[in-house]
Structure 1
Amino acid sequence: MKGRVICLDHLGGREAAALMVDGVLDDLLIAPDAPMPGTIYCAKAQRPAKGQGGVFLDSPAGRLFLRQAKGIAPGQMLKVQVTGFAEPGKAIPVTTRLLFKSRYAIVTPGAPGLNVSRAIRDEDRAEDLRALAHEATEGTHGLILRSACEAAEDAEIADDILAMEALAGEVLAAQDAMAELHAGDGPHVCAWRDWTAPAEVATAAGSFEDYGVLDALDALQSPRVALTGGADMFVETTRAMTTVDVNTGADTSFAAGTKANIAALRALPAALRLRGLGGQVVVDLAPMPKKDRKTVESVIKAALRAETIETTLAGWTPLGHLELQRARVRVPTLPLLPEG
């Protein structure tokens, strides 16, 4: 099936959203048990955690960890926002830099200024958007206009700005008592907010089955990812890291290793995204001449530029493995999938 389809459905009682591109699963969001990124709490600071460069906080969701302790006194009440998911047994990561994010606008209290997404290359449209923002906002907070504004109706953008500013004002005005001040967006809202390219939207129950999402999820449960030219890679997780093993398959030509590695690194961001994997990623590439390292580096850098989840290319190990560091903004997908 050609084209883009956004499916809004449920999996095992969990809200879920899937993005299918030309019949292939491109992205997947499933509601976890943990607080969603974007959730805002008023939390109470404990003593700074010596040697850990931060401070633990008490909240209605349990322990939080703020990687910033300077100027924070024990017992101080702070408004903080969840930035990602914690590994089992660890505190939820948070920040004091609150963001109020929607489809067209991001309101940034404490960071004044007006910015338009650099993806909007039409200067006339960018200027129109700046004028619209000045009319729609009082300038109390900082504002970022997202790339989806380029093709949107001005009235929709203005409404979005006002809604996010109102939410920011409500949260900032809340009393300093331990509480959840705002719940992070669930999969359906995140799909509307972030998957902004033109697409058919399927909201009927059973859309995952109708559009092939369930079949893609069955394939996702295998660590093997098929690549072009008969090569493959295996994506597997340990407690410490995610490992990726690249194989050339039946190809025994001189360039087989380089070709398999290029195919693997192009497919790697999607493989990690669909599995909800973050943290340290170690790629055991197929054998190739050392002179080809620059080529494969350029391939993974290009693949990561199109990725919305922050991923840093750390470099090469002495054993020739390629290391990446990826933000933990999702929980692992496989434990969330219903059995059977």
Structure 2
Amino acid sequence: MKGRTVVLDHIQGREAAALMVDGILEDFLIASDAPPIGTIYRARADRPVKGQGGMFLTTPDGPAFLRQVKGLAPGVQLLVQVTGFAEPGKALPVTNRILFKSRYAIVTPDAPGLNISRSIRDEDERDRLLEIAHDQMQGCDYGLILRSCCHGADDADIAEDVSAMRAQAEQVMLDPGTEPETLCDGDAPHVLAWRDWTDPAEVATAAGSFETHGVLDALDVASGIVEPLPAGASLFIQPTRALVAVDVNTGSDTSLAAGTKANFACAKALPRALRVRGLGGQITLDLAPMPKKDRKGFESALRSAFKTDLDETILAGWTPLGHFELQRKRGRVPLAEVLK
């Protein structure tokens, strides 16, 4: 099936969204029992962590951990926002830099100024968007970022989105409460799909759409440890407590270039394979044998592949044993933990 299709449905009683591109599962979002990313709490500082520059906080959903605190004393109330998912037994990662993000607009209470996405370079278009921004943010000290999908969008749609995010920001930031409380829930999968999958696509919302559009078959593959690659090669992706191990297998190809071809195919497929599985943290690649002269090309291919990925990924580099390591934000609950 050619083209882009956003499929909104439910699986095992959970709201979920799938992005299919030319019949391949490109992205998948599913609700979990963990607080969604973007959830905003009024939290209470609990106890500092010496040597790590962090502070444990009390929230309505359990302990949270805030990094890089300075001058924060136990007992102080502050607003924090969930930035990722915690492993079992660990505290929620949060930040005190609050953002209110929607399809067209991001309101930044702690960073004043009106900004347009750098990807929008047409001066007339930037002037149009700045005019909308000035009109909607007049009298407000908060900052605003208009996202790339504003290019060519209707004035009224952008203005409505900015107005809604400004109102939500003012309501949360000015809340007068004094006890730990959930002030704003993070977006559910269907809203996230509308917010972040902004390229033109067909949208399927009928019950059973996951089956009719091949999502369930793709999830069967993603729920396993094997990710097929071209020419019979494959990835074996196995999460452990400490890290995610990825082994590159050349399959039946015994040519001299088999390892290099499989490794470059790995670089292209890895972001999608990790994304749909919801995997992050430390990732170690056990690559197929290839000449050292090809390492720079592999790094470039890997960097290019992760460039458009929404979850931040750091390419840490090579180990003495010839493995390649990455550090990826834990932006989702692992698929295997949700679909059991």
Instruction: Give the TM bin, normalised by the shorter chain.
Output: over 0.9
| 1:62 matched residue in structure 2 | 62
| 1:4 matched residue in structure 2 | 4
For residues 119-268 of structure 1, what are the structure 2 equivalents within 5 Å? 119-138=119-138, 139-175=140-176, 176-268=178-270
| 2:113 matched residue in structure 1 | 113
Residue 122 of structure 1, CA deviation: 2.2
SS of the aligned residue for 1:140 comes to coil
**1:307 matches 2:302:** no
Residue 300 of structure 1, CA deviation: 0.2
Deviations 1:278-299 (A, max 9, x none): 1000000100001110110110
Give the unaligned 5+ runs of structure 2. none
SS of the aligned residue for 1:74 comes to coil
| 1:322 matched residue in structure 2 | 324
Deviations 1:87-132 (A, max 9, x none): 1110001111000000000000010111111222322212211121
Partners of 1:2 and 1:194 in 2: CA distance: 21
SS of the aligned residue for 1:151 comes to coil
Query: What is the TM-score with the length of structure 2 in the denominator?
Result: 0.98
Partners of 1:318 and 1:301 in 2: CA distance: 21
SS of the aligned residue for 1:120 comes to coil
Question: What amino acid maps onto 1:331 in structure 2?
Answer: V
| 1:71 matched residue in structure 2 | 71
Equivalent of 1:289 in 273, 277, 291: 291
Query: What is the TM-score with the length of structure 1 in the denominator?
Result: 0.98
Partners of 1:62 and 1:47 in 2: CA distance: 14
Equivalent of 2:281 in 275, 279, 300: 279
Partners of 2:336 and 2:151 in 1: CA distance: 36
- Pick which of 220-229 and 318-327 moved more: 220-229
- Pick which of 113-122 and 3-12 moved more: 113-122
SS of the aligned residue for 2:151 comes to helix
CA contact (8 A) 2:223 2:335 kept: no
Question: What amino acid maps onto 1:104 in structure 2?
Answer: Y
RMSD: 1.0
- Pick which of 138-147 and 80-89 moved more: 138-147
Question: What amino acid maps onto 1:117 in structure 2?
Answer: S
Deviations 1:252-301 (A, max 9, x none): 21111111100011100000000000100000010000111011011001
CA contact (8 A) 2:38 2:186 kept: yes
Q: Please identify runs of 4+ aligned residues in structure 1 that moved more than 3 A.
A: none
Residue 136 of structure 1, CA deviation: 1.7
| 2:271 matched residue in structure 1 | 269
Partners of 2:152 and 2:20 in 1: CA distance: 22
Question: Percent identity among equivalent residues?
Answer: 63
Question: What amino acid maps onto 1:158 in structure 2?
Answer: A
| 1:21 matched residue in structure 2 | 21
SS of the aligned residue for 1:86 comes to coil
Partners of 1:301 and 1:188 in 2: CA distance: 29
Partners of 1:268 and 1:41 in 2: CA distance: 34
Deviations 1:142-174 (A, max 9, x none): 110001100210110011001000000000111
Partners of 1:86 and 1:53 in 2: CA distance: 19
Partners of 1:316 and 1:134 in 2: CA distance: 48
Partners of 1:199 and 1:244 in 2: CA distance: 32
Partners of 1:326 and 1:77 in 2: CA distance: 30
SS of the aligned residue for 2:41 comes to strand
SS of the aligned residue for 1:168 comes to helix
- Pick which of 83-92 and 169-178 moved more: 169-178
Residue 75 of structure 1, CA deviation: 0.3
